[in-house]
Amino acid sequence: DSLSMCGIAGRVGASDTSRTTLEAMVATLHHRGPDDRGYYRAPGIELGMARLAIVDVAHGQQPTHDNSGEITAIFNGEIYNFAELREDLMKKGYRFDSNGDCEVIANLFHRYGKDFVSHLRGMFAIAIWDARERNLYLIRDRVGKKPLLYSVTNNGIIFASEARALIEAGVSKGVDFAALNEVLVFGYVNSPRTIYSKISALPPATILTFNGDRISTEKYWSLDLNQKNNWTHERSLHEIEVALRGSVKARTHYERTSGIFLSGGVDSSLVAKYLTEESSQKLNSYSVRFDEAAFDGGDECASGACPVK
């Protein structure tokens, strides 16, 4: 997982567990978010999260609410364009108590409904409770950088960032042998399957809606593999540079010190170049090498030119 690693958990439905179950679930996610914990409870709904404070360290606690108080949001990840979205919402009359991205999510959903996700640029696993219609929405980013797992129970639905939190709440650890076969054939499990028969993974670019009676899912984005560009070689290089520089710049608004892991390849070197040019902060860089030269995987390492351990 990446730098913006928090943990979220929750449930919808009549509770047959103790009040401390949600706290126990969030406690299993402490390694994802050691800085803070937050909870929201109302009849039939519980939301909790463990926070790693990166954006608006002082005031970015979760859960957050929209201005009406009817939309409640928690999320794991980072919205890179939240500042622009926040400014646009303020022009439309929305008020904000923080400078963080989660409060933007709540108000953005109030404004646009499920289409709010088309406005987001970032990596995210989001849970939204809409008290107006008593609907729970689970949303995962376009390529599935952030994990989001769920299980259907006799009383409703339960979800979390990791399987250990669901198991802590009593979900069965029974193995899905079809998923085990996928591991042996492909080396991984295809969502919505997980290795557990009672736990499903929300696929990337998917919105799950639970209205108390049933679950529905819908894809909100897909990659168009048929699109062709007749660019020249020079134009292609330019577009790649613009995209890379823009991606790095979008990630440089942290209140924490930035760092980069240097693998010795072209990719990390380019990121380091753009990061030093786009950020005024001191850049901390790190490299790793193995005692076994073959594990380093490069001619430089084979010749003994790898960075020092």
- Round to whole Å and give the CA distance between 159 and 148: 7
- Round to whole Å and give the CA distance between 32 and 132: 31
Q: Are 107 and 66 in contact (CB under 8 A)?
A: yes
- 6-39: b or e for each residue (b if 16 or more CB lie within 10 Å)? bbbbbbbbebebeeebbeebbbbbeebbeeebbb
Active-site residues, by number, are 6
CA angle in degrees (0–180, nearest 5) for 271-273-278? 90
DSSP per residue over 45-85, as a string? EEEEEEE---SSTTT--SSEE-TTS-EEEEEEEEETTHHHH
